[in-house]
Amino acid sequence: MSHLSPDRFCAVVGAEGVGLGRWHATQPQWLGSRAFTCDAAQPAWEAALQALSALLAEHAVRGAELRVLLSARYSRFCLVPWSDAIGNPRELDAYARACFENLYGQSLDDWRIVLSPEPAGAARIATALPQALLQGLQALSRHSQLKLRSVQPYLMAAFNRCSAKLAQGDFLFVLAEPRRSVLMLAAGGAWQQVLAQGCADSDQALQALIDRTCELYGEHMPPVYLHAPGRGDVPQLEAVQLCQPAGDSDPLCAMWRAVA
């Protein structure tokens, strides 16, 4: 009899905790979460990996598949304008790194950059992830005898799940994680801006952030879509359409359920 597990696991690596969900056959099951605290002398992802290792040891079975979703805390985002001078993937990667360096004022040599697929002539959204974190997840998967299938920023998973509901051409998509929000503005069918910043978890703070971003759009506010699975309550904001399931007391569980 085979001891390999048919289960598929999905880990959510949040800013202050990690969570784990499982699909057994077609049945989803939330297994729980584990909080962690960060030592100022170490990167935040090191404490997250330690917490995830302990959580996997409680639940995972040899041979199962693992998918990982990363909080915006571990990602950096940048708009990469179109350039006719780019002729191959290596030049595109170097160009994207230059855009990040110009935005953040430091080199991202130790980060992996992933660019959104866009048609010719359109700007791309670039996401940078620490190479050390990705290597740590690979090592943890091998140690836990799991098959690491994917590592993805939660922003991308949430946007892809909500994309069918978005207006064509012009919109503002807002991901509101606990204490951090990411906003992606599209106009004329192309990306115009991506912004990530700390934000209080109140309706007032989130509304102010949305209003400031929409001011860049012009006279007419585009449709605004909010994905805030980390909120236990339902945000009450003006002219905002929600892209999320019912609230959950555990933000990590809510994030998992939103894209499960």
Break the chain into its structural domains and give their ranges.
8-73+130-155, 75-129, 161-259
Only one residue has tokens 């992802």, namely: 45
The tokens describing 104, both together, are: 């953040």
Query: Is 8-73+130-155 assigned to CATH 3.30.420.40?
Result: yes
pLDDT in tens, 38-49: 877 788 899 999
Give the pLDDT score at 147.
Answer: 93
Across 188-197, average pLDDT: 91
The tokens describing 145, both together, are: 């005898």
Give the pLDDT score at 1.
Answer: 36
Give the pairing type, strands 65-70 and 147-153. parallel
Across 204-228, average pLDDT: 82
Assess contact for 183 and 210: CB atoms under 8 A: yes
Measured CA to CA in angstroms, residue 241 lies from 11, 46, 161, 223, 236 at distances of 27, 36, 15, 8, 10
Question: Bigger pLDDT: 143 or 244?
Answer: 143
The confidence band for 52, taking pLDDT boundaries of 50, 70 and 90, is: very high
Residues in the chain: 260
Note the Cα 140 to chain centre separation in Å.
20
Question: Bigger pLDDT: 121 or 254?
Answer: 121
Assess contact for 47 and 34: CB atoms under 8 A: no
For residue 231, is pLDDT > 60?
yes
Per DSSP, 222 falls in state: P
The domain 161-259 belongs to what CATH superfamily? Answer: 2-keto-3-deoxy-galactonokinase, substrate binding domain (3.30.420.300)
Of the spans 11-25, 126-140, 211-225, 232-246, which averages the highest pLDDT? 126-140
Lowest mean pLDDT among 106-115, 129-138, 234-243: 234-243
Q: For the beta carbon of residue 243, count every other beta carbon within 10 angstroms.
A: 22
Only one residue has tokens 């359109």, namely: 122
Give the pLDDT score at 94.
Answer: 95
In 25-146, the DSSP E strands lie at 27-35, 65-70, 76-80, 111-115, 124-130
Assess contact for 133 and 185: CB atoms under 8 A: no
Between CA 170 and CA 179, with CA 176 as vertex, the angle to 5 degrees is 145
The reported pTM is: 0.89
The tokens describing 83, both together, are: 């350039």
Only one residue has tokens 């805030």, namely: 228
Assess contact for 20 and 11: CB atoms under 8 A: yes
- Same fold for the pair 8-73+130-155 and 161-259: yes
Q: How far, in Å, CA of 111 to CA of 45, rounded?
A: 13
Question: Bigger pLDDT: 210 or 169?
Answer: 210
Give the pLDDT score at 229.
Answer: 79
Give the pLDDT score at 234.
Answer: 60
Q: For the beta carbon of residue 112, count every other beta carbon within 10 angstroms.
A: 15
Lowest mean pLDDT among 17-26, 45-54, 71-80: 17-26
